[in-house]
A and B are shown apart, each in its own frame.
Chain A
Amino acid sequence: AQKVTQAQTEISVVEKEDVTLDCVYETRDTTYYLFWYKQPPSGELVFLIRRNSFDEQNEISGRYSWNFQKSTSSFNFTITASQVVDSAVYFCALSERRSSASKIIFGSGTRLSIRP
C-alpha cells in the first residue's frame, strides 16, 4: 500500500533562512512518481514538481531544490533564502502506476510560516 509521511506538522523560520521539508514514502512498486504541491493561504493546490522513481538526480529551480533518495525512501524539499511569500502548506504526494487515472496520495502536509 502506498503511504506518504510528512513528520513536520509546522515549521516557522525567519525570512532569508533556508528550510527543508521532509517527505518519506512507502510503496511496493518499482515504478512510481513523487510530487510536491503548494497550498497558499488562498487555498488552491499548486503543482511544484514531479519525479519518477528511475530519476534520482536532484533538481533545482530557482530557490527551490529537491533531493530524492530511493535508499531512504525520501523526497525532501529545500527552500533557500526563504521569503514571506513562501508561507503555505506544502504537500508531498505519491502515485503508483495502477491505471490510466492513477490515484495520487498526499501526505498530511507541512505548514511553513516565514516571519519577516
Chain B
Amino acid sequence: EPEVTQTPSHQVTQMGQEVILRCVPISNHLYFYWYRQILGQKVEFLVSFYNNEISEKSEIFDDQFSVERPDGSNFTLKIRSTKLEDSAMYFCASSDTTVAGANVLTFGAGSRLTVL
C-alpha cells in the first residue's frame, strides 16, 4: 500500500538552529500538508501546498517556517530558528482528492522534533 514517508523520525536540536523535515508524499498525489501535534494535544494545521505554491496557512506558520518541493518528489518543512515551543510531532500528509475541501489525507508516521 502506498505510504507517505517522513525523515527523520526524531531530531534533537538546539534552540536557534535551523531544522529541515523531509517528506516523500504518495507519488500520484498533488496536494500536500504539514500538521503538528504537541505532545498529547490536538493536531494543528500549519500549511497546505498545491501546484508549487502555498494554498493555505495558519497563524502558526509565521516567517520562521517555509515549505518547498525541491525536486518533484520531496516536500520539506524548514524551521529557520527553532524555539523551545516548536518541540512537537510534525506530520506530513498528502491527498489526491480533486474536489476542493474533500481532501482525504494520508499521513506519514511523523517526525518528532525536540528543541533543547
Interface on A for B, CB 8 Å cutoff?
A: 31-33, 35, 43-47, 50, 52, 91, 95-109
- Near A by CB (< 8 A), chain B positions 12-70 give 31-33, 35, 41-45, 48-51, 55-56, 58
Complex contact A100–B100 (CB within 8 A): yes
Complex contact A98–B56 (CB within 8 A): yes
Q: How far is the CB of A52 from chain B (nearest CB, A)?
A: 7
23 inter-chain pairs at a CB distance below 8 angstroms, sorted by A residue, are A33-B102, A43-B89, A46-B107, A47-B106, A52-B102, A91-B43, A97-B102, A98-B100, A99-B100, A100-B51, A101-B32, A101-B48, A101-B49, A101-B103, A102-B56, A102-B100, A103-B33, A103-B48, A103-B58, A104-B33, A104-B103, A106-B42, A106-B43
In the complex, A101→B53 CA distance in Å?
Answer: 10
User: Does B115 count as interface, using CB distance less than 8 angstroms?
Assistant: no
Residues in A with CB closer than 8 Å to B105 are 45, 47, 104
Q: A43-B109, A102-B55 are in contact. Are A97 and B100 (CB under 8 A)?
A: yes
In the complex, A5→B34 CA distance in Å?
Answer: 21
Q: How far is the CB of B93 from chain A (nearest CB, A)?
A: 8
User: Does B95 count as interface, using CB distance less than 8 angstroms?
Assistant: yes
Residues in B with CB closer than 8 Å to A104 are 33, 45, 103, 105
Q: A43-B89, A107-B42 are in contact. Are A99 and B110 (CB under 8 A)?
A: no
Most buried by B among A32, A45, A50, A108: A45
In the complex, A33→B42 CA distance in Å?
Answer: 19
Residues in B with CB closer than 8 Å to A99 are 48, 50, 55-56, 100
Residues in A with CB closer than 8 Å to B108 are 44
Q: How far is the CB of B69 from chain A (nearest CB, A)?
A: 12
Most buried by A among B31, B100, B107, B110: B100
Residues in A with CB closer than 8 Å to B31 are 100-101
- With CB as the reference atom, state the residue of chain B lying closest to A105: B45
Q: A100-B51, A104-B45, A105-B45 are in contact. Are A44 and B110 (CB under 8 A)?
A: yes
Q: How far is the CB of A94 from chain B (nearest CB, A)?
A: 9
In the complex, A99→B43 CA distance in Å?
Answer: 20
In the complex, A33→B97 CA distance in Å?
Answer: 12
